[in-house]
Structure 1
């Protein structure tokens, strides 16, 4: 097919397509559809999608952002859209053919939390998505773990989730999601998104989070990651406790936790919110004087 101009959705287009499908957006699936063309253009611009690139989109819904991604990727690129709703996934190819002729769209009907590389027709280099608020963190972490070809991403999430993903050690929002994302990438907030660009209008504020995978790759292999994330989970399960207390269950006792921490050069009286992911990895890798590291 000869490439033609891409026609983005407006508010009336989104509502008309939803009515045609008999769709009532559900809170369970986190269905809040972007209907503002300027917003999707802004997202694609901040994501820095390049011509010829393969972009992964999760939760494309009716296709508002999909069309803008297809436009940016161009005839030589592609968008791989993962959609759990079979009705929406079934309609998306027709929308692309009508409004973005000559562009390559691959639709995968699946739960993004179960995606493996073999499920995708090609290897994406960028993730750009409006993520359902209730699964945003696990989806981002799962995709980064499963798809090493992802070099960068831009996701739209609930504002508080954006704070947690982009926070640095010592900041109030810093926690398990911040530390785990830092295993893979450097993250930053990339701006707010007004409520009024969604249909239906959500009851929470939204924001963009951009991330770039570490140039040297992830901080370790899968076994090391699992061990490190076990320490992170333990540290933030009781985040108001000192590390000596918070890691007691993980290490076997408060005394063993203190031994592990001191062996790693970490003050056992501080809290996990002060530590970067590299320090958590060092704790996981450091044996006590009388034995190996605790099992993940």
Structure 2
């Protein structure tokens, strides 16, 4: 590999490395590799990564962002589903920045299957997430790793809007409400298509999330998420109708909403996560988690 500019991977290094590995980026794995050093530094700055921070990176690919995080002084545990990429990442860091190899751990696995990570618990998640699984991966890690205090992820711009949306917005939905259980979210900035190889056919954006306590409620997260899923399953219908399945009948759904202090004539898109939690609490065991309760949807 030629010397990488500034200790990061540029377009020439990315293509050279991919050619050496015989890798052709695939849509199946959502592979679009960042090759612009300025963008990598922008992500690291927006994440607020400090020396000594333990950071988990999902989908490191060829290592552009990994090198940026290590250069900022973080220790990184990288989760990579593609075996050749997982095997190559430590070698790439050793070639470009041999002084940083002792701060890198690599986990070769599907991020959705990861329940434990080596080393100290991560305090931040920073990643260029594969766009086809961005929301489920994000919510899964927020659920499983409560040590995460901050998240800075690059996702499809449309997904970024959904994650950061508030009640009443046309983009507010299941990802918005479930993400709000864990953290406050905001769209940090837009990322141009030209910084990727191959160039994606969608726009990208950075989302910053800061962990906060979930709503104070006796309902479980699974129960609250079951209410959220049900409320958005038929987006144009009112809570009286959408929650009837959980409650047992439209009348019972109406009664639960009234106990929670929520107008049963509203649609789910008008409620924040605190109101969903109050409804779940009013339903009690009736808000039994269905097969999608713990997972996200659009």
Q: For this structure pair, what is the TM-score category when the shorter chain's length is used for normalisation?
A: over 0.9
- Secondary structure of 1:26's partner? coil
2:93 equivalent to 1:99: no
- Secondary structure of 2:86's partner? helix
The aligned residue for residue 25 of structure 2 is: 25
Q: What root-mean-square deviation, in Å, do the aligned CA atoms of Structure 1 and Structure 2 show?
A: 1.6
The aligned residue for residue 10 of structure 1 is: 10
CA distance in 1, matches of 2:142, 2:260: 27
Q: TM-score, normalised by structure 1?
A: 0.92
2:127 equivalent to 1:129: yes
**What is the CA distance between 1:129 and its match in structure 2?**
0.2
CA distance in 2, matches of 1:182, 1:36: 31
The aligned residue for residue 282 of structure 2 is: 286
CA distance in 1, matches of 2:29, 2:151: 22
- Secondary structure of 2:69's partner? helix
- Secondary structure of 1:68's partner? helix
CA distance in 2, matches of 1:259, 1:204: 44
2:260 to 261, 264, 275: 264
The aligned residue for residue 54 of structure 1 is: 54
CA distance in 2, matches of 1:71, 1:239: 45
The aligned residue for residue 233 of structure 2 is: 237
The aligned residue for residue 65 of structure 2 is: 65
**What is the CA distance between 1:36 and its match in structure 2?**
0.5
Give the gaps of 5 or more residues in structure 1. Answer: none
CA distance in 2, matches of 1:9, 1:57: 17
Q: TM-score, normalised by structure 2?
A: 0.92
1:205 to 184, 200, 203: 203
**What is the CA distance between 1:121 and its match in structure 2?**
2.8
Provide closer, same or farther for how the CA distance between residues 36 and 221 of structure 1 changes in structure 2, counting only shifts above 3 A: farther
**What is the CA distance between 1:122 and its match in structure 2?**
2.5
CA distance in 2, matches of 1:144, 1:6: 33
CA distance in 2, matches of 1:69, 1:139: 20
Q: Is the 8 A contact 1:59 1:130 kept in 2?
A: yes
Q: Is the 8 A contact 2:219 2:280 kept in 1?
A: no
The aligned residue for residue 187 of structure 2 is: 189
- Secondary structure of 1:102's partner? helix
2:83 equivalent to 1:90: no
Q: Is the 8 A contact 1:6 1:99 kept in 2?
A: no
CA distance in 1, matches of 2:231, 2:70: 42
1:228 to 224, 230, 236: 224
The aligned residue for residue 36 of structure 1 is: 36
Give the gaps of 5 or more residues in structure 2. Answer: 290-298
